[in-house]
Structure 1
């Protein structure tokens, strides 16, 4: 894996016009993590040409950085809309990894500031935890060792775009072969509406951040 990562590191650095064969490990190469997001579109898409499903990967990454988000960024103004998006993700996750916790769970919507958010989420876990944990295996199953290597190379740069795993994993989901299911799209819509979706002892919590109160 390290050998392949160095190859991709040099490929990216060449596209960006950076020095090659640096001693910095690809996982710690801040040029890869941050400077790629300032590239022109043609060079940005070129970054992904060595990876499986390169066009889909590039399109999703470019969309989140520069594109028109469209319905991904639609304002969800009612609790019912929030719940419906959460249900879509719950059903997708349940189809992938059935569990009693996600079988027709009670869904509660709460609103509050950062302090309340931290308090509530500290007692809960992300609803996508199991999918997050299995994403690498799903990608490897679809693309073999090349997919496995791609997941670990791309994870950090994609995460650095927004410092959140939901947008990052939404991009990386294109590397799986599950075109029939996409648990991250509803979560991304909720993310853009300042919502966290968490699994609690009582069911599913949708917490919508509202610092104006």
Structure 2
């Protein structure tokens, strides 16, 4: 929250407060982890948020069905917490399921159409799309000289969070970046969960088709030859 008289943030709206509260919650729900705060709640020296490995793996520690209350406590102290929590729980409860190449192309085009409406640099939605897989080129090689076609949209998300949710919203967006990335090794998942910080619930959600593409087993790339989709469905199938 912001003090109306001074414009300064109260402690509850500061990443250092969120960091301490997360450690306190994890001390209760994941006590086997290394505690950075003692059981009495007295703060010890905490690392910078960006270097706090326990913070980054919080959702690994409380990722089971029985830990829903812990996740609620972790997320609810943040702005747009309930909306983000609903997305987090939806992701954790979804069954692994792949999509075919035609569905992947459609989602790619939907995502590009959404971000083109924001006047951001991106490929044309109707541009040709190459299909790649490990039999044609290794994943790391394919992306060595490629970016995501959504890169400029992703770079803008922090600014959108600030515009919609204020400075505290932008801080929450970046505070959650690494914990949510570590949850699924995917910024597409992290961006979709954090979208409520960036826009009203009834606004168009460009992160949705991008998320669906990723969890369906495809990675989108954009290189000097144009757009491509890399087939990673075998990774989804292994997680079943």
TM over 0.5: yes
**Contact 1:74 / 1:189 at 8 angstroms: preserved in 2?**
no
Note closer, same or farther for the CA distance 1:171–1:15 as it changes in structure 2 (3 Å cut). Answer: same
- Confirm whether residue 137 of structure 1 aligns to residue 159 of structure 2: yes
Match of 1:116 in 2: 138
Displacement of 1:89: 0.9
Displacement of 1:98: 4.3
Question: Which has the larger helix fraction?
Answer: 1
Higher relative contact order (CA 8 A, sep 6+): 1
Q: Deviations over 1:133-172 (max 9, x none)?
A: 0000000000111112111211111111122211111111
**Contact 1:106 / 1:202 at 8 angstroms: preserved in 2?**
no
Question: Which protein is bigger by CA-based radius of gyration?
Answer: 2
> Which runs of 5 or more structure 1 residues have no equivalent in the other structure?
none
> How do 1:4-19 and structure 2 match up within 5 A?
4-17=14-27, 18=35, 19=37
> How do 1:1-213 and structure 2 match up within 5 A?
4-17=14-27, 18=35, 19=37, 20-23=42-45, 24-39=47-62, 40-64=67-91, 66-69=92-95, 73-77=96-100, 79-99=101-121, 101-102=123-124, 104-113=126-135, 115-177=137-199, 179-209=202-232
Secondary structure at the counterpart of residue 104 of structure 1:
coil
Note closer, same or farther for the CA distance 1:119–1:154 as it changes in structure 2 (3 Å cut). Answer: same
Note closer, same or farther for the CA distance 1:184–1:98 as it changes in structure 2 (3 Å cut). Answer: same
Secondary structure at the counterpart of residue 126 of structure 1:
coil
**Contact 1:16 / 1:36 at 8 angstroms: preserved in 2?**
no
Secondary structure at the counterpart of residue 196 of structure 1:
strand
CA root-mean-square deviation: 2.5
Note closer, same or farther for the CA distance 1:49–1:16 as it changes in structure 2 (3 Å cut). Answer: same
Note closer, same or farther for the CA distance 1:173–1:211 as it changes in structure 2 (3 Å cut). Answer: closer
- For 2:122 and 2:234, locate their aligned partners in 1 and report how far apart those are by CA, in whole Å: 34
**Contact 2:15 / 2:171 at 8 angstroms: preserved in 1?**
yes
Note closer, same or farther for the CA distance 1:123–1:35 as it changes in structure 2 (3 Å cut). Answer: closer
